[in-house]
């Protein structure tokens, strides 16, 4: 079940890869159905907010016509940065399933502790290591080709 949705997030990440973007993908799931999808489009869109998670979250809000995603879970191939962690808090996403750790700017505890720090609005549970190898390898191959 977890792997099925992380595979969908990986499929999203592949779309970024084909655009020569850093391959990161995310899906938002409610009652076992994907209600939001996103892949990193920062370079293509020339918009620094266009990370996979932000796009998937905006997509989910639009589909539900609600900014509260408290019954929703997010699957993302890479640990969210502070911006995306903040968006997860703002929309009250219930659970966050993460593929690879983000040693540069991970905000679920690796560099910043935003998701972990339970403020009034934040109630997300965090699960690391979902299809970690696949998520890591996708990024590793991308950065190796870049060099």
Is residue 51 a known part of a binding site? yes
| 66-97 residues labelled b (16+ CB within 10 A) or e (exposed) | eeebeebbbbbbbbbbebbbbbbbebbbbbbb
Contact range with its own copies by CB under 8 A, out of 14-22, 78-86, 123-131, 134-142: 78-86
How many residues at the interface with its own copies, by CB under 8 A? 41
Helices within the chain (DSSP H only):
2-18, 42-45, 52-64, 82-90, 132-146
Is there a catalytic annotation at residue 53? yes
Among 2, 11, 86, 94, binds its own copies (CB under 8 A): 86
In this structure, what DSSP letter does residue 114 have?
S
Give how far the C-alpha of residue 75 lies from the chain's centroid of Cα atoms, to the nearest Å: 6
Give the nearer residue to its own copies in terms of CB position, either 15 or 116: 116
Q: Does 104 bind its own copies (CB under 8 A)?
A: yes
**Rounded-to-integer distance, Cα 116 and Cα 139, Å:** 24
What is the number of H-type helices and E-type strands within the chain?
A: 5, 5
Q: Binding to its own copies by residue 58, rule CB under 8 A?
A: yes
Q: Which is nearer to its own copies, 7 or 95 (CB)?
A: 95
- 18 labelled as ligand-binding? no
Q: Which residues are catalytic?
A: 53
- Interface residues toward its own copies, by CB under 8 A: 42-43, 45-51, 54, 57-58, 61-62, 64-69, 81-87, 89-92, 104-105, 107, 111-112, 114, 117, 119-121
**Binding-site residues:** 51, 81, 84
């Amino acid at each position: 079940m977890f792997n099925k949705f992380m595979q969908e997030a990986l499929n999203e990440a592949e779309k970024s890869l084909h655009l020569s973007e850093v391959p990161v993908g995310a899906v938002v799931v409610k009652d076992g159905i994907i209600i939001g999808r996103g892949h990193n489009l920062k370079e293509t869109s020339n918009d620094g907010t266009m990370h996979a998670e932000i796009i998937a979250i905006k997509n989910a809000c639009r589909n539900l016509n609600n900014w509260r995603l408290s019954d929703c879970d997010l699957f993302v191939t890479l640990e969210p940065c502070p911006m995306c962690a903040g968006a997860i808090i703002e929309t009250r996403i219930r659970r966050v399933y993460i593929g690879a750790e983000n040693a540069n700017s991970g905000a679920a505890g690796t560099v910043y502790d935003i998701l972990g720090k339970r403020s009034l609005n934040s109630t997300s549970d965090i699960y690391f290591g979902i299809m970690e190898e696949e998520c890591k390898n996708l990024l590793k191959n991308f950065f190796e080709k870049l060099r």
